[in-house]
Amino acid sequence: MKRRKFLKNSSTLTAGLISAPMLATCNENNTKTNGPDEISTGIKPIAICTWNFHNATAKAWEVLDQGGSSLDAVEQGVMIEEADVNNQTVGKGGRPDRNGDVTLDACIMDKDGNCGAVLCLQNIAHPISVARKVMEDTPHVMLAGKGAEQFAYEKGFEKEDLLTKKSMQEWTEWKKTSQYKPIINIENHDTIGMLAIDKNGDISGACTTSGMAYKYAGRVGDSPIIGAGLFVDNEIGGATATGVGEEVVRTVGSFLIVELMRQGKSPQEACEEGVKRIIAKNKDNTDFQIGFIAMNKKGETGSYCIQPGFTFRKYSEAGHVNNPSDSFIKT
């Protein structure tokens, strides 16, 4: 009886956020009808991310499946890509700025609206973990540049050379013909943004990138900007972005998508509207890529991408997102 009362109260408190069927995890006799993780919320844990970073969602799923929090899941998930030197758009091995320095941006946001970010961080392989430390161990939200690096050392992170031989050789080639212009194309924008919902129904998100290849020194995109590259409101859902950060910042893209979900749009509808807002600001420019993924409190997901020439696609149709709905939803 106590449990039934709790569920009823939960339903009242979260009316419109958790649907009745999702609470129907206890029958009249109060026996479980789903797995033990789902008894109190009816939520099926899930992790999604931008692009085809299957190893990252697999890691996040491992955390969720063991009962871990969505915050741990998204951190550990994106760390897989930060550590992968073959991924030249995130973490160690990322392409450098035009001066040859690898600078990393990341942010993280938890179920309580706490957030942390690092901007233009050098010599540290896991900016997402430094961002989490900013969130948990300081009164601040963002640390940038040398201050962020100093903070990381104080927290025990080790100094590492992030510029791999491959990235250095490509940069050297680029310099010969580039006239020092940054490159904007679809091949070098593979930011990983990840959203997860855990067995308690709590949503967290993380976003990490080495940013635009050969960018101006000091350039920061959307990825470490709360509201642009990532936003989570645990009452509604979360969204995160990939692509040309300047465009995402101009529309505060991830915040917009969460607000659209608050107004009743599905994650898919919200992602599509977010992309349309950016298109509306770019009537004469079709030469960029933007993608969003989103998740709501029911664990429903959406994704939408625009590519140069303004071709549209759902990521899952394009194979550009690891939509884990088949392999990583807990059943």
Active-site residue list: 191
Q: Contact, 197 vs 70, CB < 8 A?
A: yes
In the bound complex, what is the minimum distance in angstroms from residue 202's beta carbon to ligand GLY?
25
Q: How far apart are the first and last CA of the chain?
A: 26
By C-beta, is 61 or 304 nearer to ligand GLY?
A: 304
Taking CB under 6 A as the rule, does residue 212 contact ligand GLY? Answer: yes
Q: Which of 96, 205, 237, 245 binds ligand GLY (CB under 6 A)?
A: 245
Q: Which residues within the stretch 184-203 sit at the binding site for ligand GLY (CB under 6 A)?
A: 191
Q: Which residues within the stretch 264-283 sit at the binding site for ligand GLY (CB under 6 A)?
A: none
Q: Contact, 275 vs 306, CB < 8 A?
A: yes
Q: Contact, 14 vs 281, CB < 8 A?
A: no
By C-beta, is 44 or 95 nearer to ligand GLY?
A: 95
In the bound complex, what is the minimum distance in angstroms from residue 102's beta carbon to ligand GLY?
13
Stretch that binds ligand GLY, among 52-60, 157-165, 168-176, 236-244 (CB under 6 A): 236-244
Stretch that binds ligand GLY, among 31-39, 165-173, 207-215, 231-239 (CB under 6 A): 207-215
Q: Contact, 82 vs 129, CB < 8 A?
A: no
In the bound complex, what is the minimum distance in angstroms from residue 327's beta carbon to ligand GLY?
26
Q: Which of 129, 223, 234, 307 binds ligand GLY (CB under 6 A)?
A: 223
- DSSP 8-state secondary structure symbol assigned to residue 91: S
In the bound complex, what is the minimum distance in angstroms from residue 274's beta carbon to ligand GLY?
14
3-state secondary structure 241-263: EEECHHHHHHHCHHHHHHHHHHC
Cβ neighbours, 10 Å, residue 331: 6
Stretch that binds ligand GLY, among 19-27, 36-44, 218-226, 252-260 (CB under 6 A): 218-226
Torsion of CA 71, 237, 116, 94, to 10 degrees: 80
Q: Which of 91, 116, 201, 221 binds ligand GLY (CB under 6 A)?
A: 221
- H or E segment to which residue 74 belongs: helix 70-83
Q: Which of 87, 188, 234, 242 binds ligand GLY (CB under 6 A)?
A: 242
In the bound complex, what is the minimum distance in angstroms from residue 194's beta carbon to ligand GLY?
14
3-state secondary structure 198-214: CCCCCEEEEEEECCCCC
- H or E segment to which residue 312 belongs: strand 311-313
Give me 220's structure tokens.
């920061």
What residue has token string 């601040």? 140
Report the interface residues with ligand GLY, using CB under 6 A: 191, 209, 211-212, 221-223, 242-245
